[in-house]
Amino acid sequence: MVEKQQLAALISELSDLSLITDPGRLERFSRDFAWFSPILTEQLADKRADLVVRPNDETEIKRVIAACHRHRVPLTLRGSGTGNYGQCTPLEGGVVMDMSALNQVRWIEGGVARVQAGTRLVNIDKEARPKGWEMRLLPSTYRLATAGGFYCGGFGGVGSITYGSIGDPGNVLGVRALSLEAEPRELELRGREALDLYHAYGVNGIITEIEFALAPAYDWQEALLTFPDFMEAVRFCQTLGRASGVIKKLLTVLADPLPQMCGLEEQVPAGRTAVLCIVAKPSFDATRELCEQYGGAIALTQEHADVYGTAHSLIEHAWNHTTLHIFKRDKGITYLQSGFRPWENVEKSSKCIVTSAMR
């Protein structure tokens, strides 16, 4: 716990920076989406920052680091606070450093984007697209999530069907970081060294800039497909997922009754499994043919460009957004995340459905 004197000394030293001390806002800046978990909700209920600082540049960040180091006050980083596991909740109080003011795209060139850590992912795409590029990977929270938060606390999402996770070699080319020392050092880490900060929640360095490898920007088509049988939908996804000639951005299966629970009941008849697809427009015919081959039907198509960055994109029902929509209706459920190895995922899917049917 932080003593009153420690906090007062810190506040007086940083008084010319943007500080938040109002109890309501301290509470808000100490939370993320850990309320998805009944266990974390209980464990984190009384964890709160004593002070929130929003630095505007690296010089201010260095001052915050040095002051926290000198006064032995814990420092927790925050992007947009969309993490699911209390990653930006200060377990021992102290300072939460909000990175949202470091939000500049430094440059986009030759398929690479260099951005400040607090840049929202949607804004990187907005600047990259006119140049013919786009982000390879986005969490479904891309409208809010920051570059630093995604790299330090996220995993993958839209685009992972082609590019894997954000920590896979080649997706992030380098990071600029500051060490948490009396005199913070500036580190430029490239390639494998940059991975030391991947998924490290800010505990081994504060990222100020990230360099992302980009993907060529396609004209994308969103399609909501429905299947009478879960396993046929899984087999369709396996075939489409492996079809290297089909350019893909999203492929998500929602077993019955999930579509009824996550806001897709108008488009997906009860009893049917849904598949959310985003494919490049020239790949759409192949997608439709495969869908028919596996007994599926098209419930909805829309141009991705028309709905990107809005609540109408199918992205809003994929990844952990499925859970979010279900929680809005029923706070009594919870969820498990499971990873299946690619050579046994179809077999494991059939066992999952048998197991849940037996309950």
Ligand X SMILES: Cc1cc2nc3c(=O)[nH]c(=O)nc-3n(C[C@H](O)[C@H](O)[C@H](O)COP(=O)(O)OP(=O)(O)OC[C@H]3O[C@@H](n4cnc5c(N)ncnc54)[C@H](O)[C@@H]3O)c2cc1C
Q: What is the footprint of ligand X within residues 238-267 (CB under 6 A)?
A: none
The distance of closest approach from Cβ of residue 157 to ligand X in the complex, given in angstroms and rounded to an integer, is 3
184 binds ligand X (CB under 6 A): no
123 binds ligand X (CB under 6 A): no
139 binds ligand X (CB under 6 A): yes
Q: What is the footprint of ligand X within residues 85-104 (CB under 6 A)?
A: 87-88, 99
Span interacting with ligand X, options 187-195, 295-303, 316-324, 345-353, rule CB under 6 A: 316-324
Nearer to ligand X, 33 or 133 (CB): 33
Residue in 91, 68, 74, 99 with CA at minimum distance from that of residue 176:
99
**Edge-to-edge strand ranges of the sheet holding 273-280:** 248-254, 273-280, 220-227, 297-303
User: Are 185 and 178 a contacting pair, CB within 8 Å?
Assistant: yes
Among 55, 159, 184, 202, which residue sits at the site for ligand X (rule: CB under 6 A)? 202
Among 29, 133, 150, 220, which residue sits at the site for ligand X (rule: CB under 6 A)? 150
Span interacting with ligand X, options 15-23, 151-159, 224-232, 234-242, rule CB under 6 A: 151-159
35 binds ligand X (CB under 6 A): no
Indicate the residue type of 67.
A
287 binds ligand X (CB under 6 A): no
Nearer to ligand X, 126 or 131 (CB): 126
Q: Which residue is nearest to ligand X (CB)?
A: 149
The distance of closest approach from Cβ of residue 158 to ligand X in the complex, given in angstroms and rounded to an integer, is 7
The distance of closest approach from Cβ of residue 165 to ligand X in the complex, given in angstroms and rounded to an integer, is 8
The distance of closest approach from Cβ of residue 354 to ligand X in the complex, given in angstroms and rounded to an integer, is 27
Nearer to ligand X, 73 or 152 (CB): 152
Full 3-state SS string of the chain: CCCHHHHHHHHHHCCCCCEECCHHHHHHHCCCCHHHCHHHHHHHCCCCCCEEECCCCHHHHHHHHHHHHHHCCCEEEECCCCCCCCCCCCCCCCEEEECCCCCCEEEEECCEEEEECCCEHHHHHHHHHHHCEEECCECCCCCCCEHHHHHHHCCCCECHHHHCCCCCCCCEEEEEEECCCCCCCEEEEEHHHHHHHCCCCCCCCEEEEEEEEEEECCCEEEEEEEECCHHHHHHHHHHHHHCCCCCEEEEEEECCCHHHHCCCCCCCCCCCEEEEEEEEHHHHHHHHHHHHHCCCEEEEEEEHHHHCCCCCCHHHHCCHHHHHHHHHHCCCCCCCCCCCCCCCHHHHHHHHHHHHHHC
Among 93, 148, 159, 263, which residue sits at the site for ligand X (rule: CB under 6 A)? 148
| Total of residues contacting ligand X (CB under 6 A) | 37
The distance of closest approach from Cβ of residue 331 to ligand X in the complex, given in angstroms and rounded to an integer, is 15
Span interacting with ligand X, options 66-74, 103-111, 150-158, 240-248, rule CB under 6 A: 150-158
Among 7, 30, 67, 83, which residue sits at the site for ligand X (rule: CB under 6 A)? 83
Nearer to ligand X, 208 or 349 (CB): 208
Q: How far apart are CA 124 and CA 43, in angstroms?
A: 35
The distance of closest approach from Cβ of residue 115 to ligand X in the complex, given in angstroms and rounded to an integer, is 11
**Where do contacts with ligand X occur on this chain (CB under 6 A)?**
32-33, 76-84, 87-88, 99, 117, 139-141, 145-146, 148-150, 152-157, 201-202, 206-207, 319-321, 324
